[in-house]
Amino acid sequence: MSEITYLQAVADALKEEMRRDEKVFMLGEDMGVYGGCFGVTRGFLDEFGEDRIMDTPISEGGFTGIAVGAAMAGYRPVVEYMFSDFVTIAMDLITNQAAKARFMLGGQVTVPLVIRTPAGSGTGAAAQHSQSLETWFCHIPGLKVVMPSTPYDVKGLLKSAIREDNAILFYEHKLLYSTKGEVPDDEYLLPIGKAGVMREGKDMTIISYSLTALKALKAAEMLAKDGIDAEVLDLRTLSPLDNDAIIASAKKTGRVLVTHESVQKFGVGAEVASIIGDSEAFFYLDRPVRRFGGEDIPIPYSPELEYHVVPQPDTIYEQAKALLK
């Protein structure tokens, strides 16, 4: 095991898959000479060359279309958007082409496409560069959505995503890149669609994903000082969700708080609450499932305001305490 950053884990996963399979290539803005907006692909151009590390024009719709076609032709493209907000420019290619081609053509083609993109707030990048839009794609049949929270998870899940024969939105929160964690030196894969228990507990469950899962861990530590033993379940994958893990944890503790950075209304929290409410776990609940997501406003530029419109450890703690009253 080695302790590495989340950014290094992403870079290592990409390099290993490109070395393993010559059909894997990458394309996006400033990926080559510049090394990526956040430095993930620094040095890749020297090793893999311009045929496999492709700097593109500022045209997400254009190069996403190229990637969809290449995937259908047997390649395994990995697209990078500088910011996840820019998916809006390529929505038709993602939701009407990549997501549906395999189904509409009766399985004659597959679309092994991974779209990597930094998501979320916390960098002062304002309303058009700080959104959490993952829920959009959870609503589209034919797409998978992955949002890992740790270096270990991001490496294992990214390698699995690249080997998948389906289109995948792979979100990497900007504030996670500098976080550190232990990662095996030997190769490993993690299954897409399986949640992970980050902290065992018996009094309540906090369900989350991505950066907010780490905030939930901090909130659980605060709750422990009050004698409350909180379990933290990291979803890891949003589509498909791990229904079995969600239901098992809800049955175990009887109290569930779901928290995420994306806007609360019509969000992942509502789906998780519905899964619990429609299962046998409903009869184990001592309280209704509580949701806690982002405020229903664009992300402000002001750092002080930006901090307060998404869940933080102290506000997750407060929501948990309110649930237990």
Specify whether the CB–CB gap between 15 and 53 falls below 8 A: no
Residue 257, H or E segment: strand 256-263
Q: Report residue 53 CA to chain centroid gap.
A: 23
Q: Which two tokens stand for residue 242?
A: 């791990």
CA distance 149 to 195: 11
Return the SS3 of 66.
Answer: helix
Look up 129 and say whether it is catalytic.
yes
| Residues composing the chain | 325
What whole-number distance in Å separates Cα of residue 219 and Cα of residue 242?
A: 23
167-173 and 204-208 beta bridge pairing = unpaired
DSSP annotation string for 93-161: IIIIIITTHHHHTTTSS----EEEEEE-SSSS--TTSS---HHHHHTSTTEEEE---SHHHHHHHHHHH
Q: Which of 129, 139, 173, 260 is catalytic?
A: 129
Q: 184-210 burial string, b = 16+ CB within 10 Å, else e? A: eeeeeebebbebbebbebebbbbbbbb
The residues annotated with a catalytic role in the active site are 129
